[in-house]
Amino acid sequence: MSTFRGAIKRLNCDLKISTIFFDLDNTLIATRKADAKACSKVADLLHREHGFSRELANETATNYLTAFRRCPDNPDVALAQWRSQLWQDVLPGTHKHLASELYGRWLEWRYRYLALPVEVQTMLQTLRLQYLLGIITNGPTAAQWEKIDRLALNKYFDCILVSSDLPWAKPDRNIFYAACHYLGVPPGQCVMIGDKLETDIQVSGGDRHGTRTAPGFPPLSRLFSYLNFPGCVFRPPFNRSRSVLLREDRTHT
């Protein structure tokens, strides 16, 4: 955490920063680890309470995790129905009736492991005293908003964008421009924190779009990147069905 604050301070010395954008999955929250841990708990449950061999229990949970990561959401089906179907697909024929139960237990464990640690909550509250904070995340609308809502993340952020609500996804610069435009801040005063250069800010090798990487990597994520996109040009207004909602807006939805 001190490394993160130090990086912010160093960048502030270089140019005034007013806004910090966070990636969601595997940056702000440990999604892959939480999903894997939740599946491990389900495997234990299958072995302990439903008579599965350890090998079959692990195989069933692993197959679910693989299917879930391959397709976490089906826009034509409710989240609970889709995930229960994934469990049903991987369960042996004699145990398919367990699908709804396993989904419920997996969901409970998943959000237990996804919960923000107290120190991260404190960090966000402290940062918000000085900066505007936002989330810019790629992913399906229902799945991403479920995480945002269940973890009550809206109370920490001034702006939240989910790519499936918009015409663009990271690393398209327009999704950053949209966030900056909504908050009324120039891109050159913004920082983006994510876990992958190629999917967060489209930087590979040299300096592209005027983007620079700050020295040092914070413990919260593997990447600390400074956005300085010149020539900001906004496209026509987009559908803000849920994304780009200010904290005040979210309290009334």
pLDDT tens for 206-252 read 344 333 333 332 332 333 333 333 333 333 333 344 554 443 343 33
User: Measured between alpha carbons, how far is 232 from 109 in angstroms, rounded to an integer?
Assistant: 42
Under 8 Å CB-to-CB from 186, ≥6 apart: which residues? 180, 232
Segment (H or E) for 247: helix 247-250
Identify the pLDDT of residue 156: 97
What token pair was written down for 111? Answer: 């959000």
Query: Which domains, from first to last, does the chain contain?
Result: 7-29+117-237 (3.40.50.1000), 31-114 (1.20.120.710)
Segment (H or E) for 32: helix 31-49
Reply yes or no on whether the pLDDT at 129 is more than 70: yes
Segment (H or E) for 83: helix 79-90
Cα dihedral value 197, 202, 208, 213, nearest 10: -20
Nearest to 115 by CA among 147, 154, 137: 147
Identify the pLDDT of residue 2: 52
Q: How wide is the angle at C-alpha 176 spanned by C-alphas 143 and 225, nearest 5°?
A: 95
Q: Which residue has the tokens 């139960």?
A: 101
What token pair was written down for 126? Answer: 């402290």
108 or 231: which leads in pLDDT: 108
Reply yes or no on whether the pLDDT at 72 is more than 80: yes
The model scores a pTM over 0.75: yes
Reply yes or no on whether the pLDDT at 50 is more than 50: yes
What is the arithmetic mean of pLDDT over 81-103? 98
Beta bridge partners of 224: 193
Under 8 Å CB-to-CB from 172, ≥6 apart: which residues? 202
Do residues 62 and 46 make contact, with C-beta atoms less than 8 angstroms apart? Answer: no
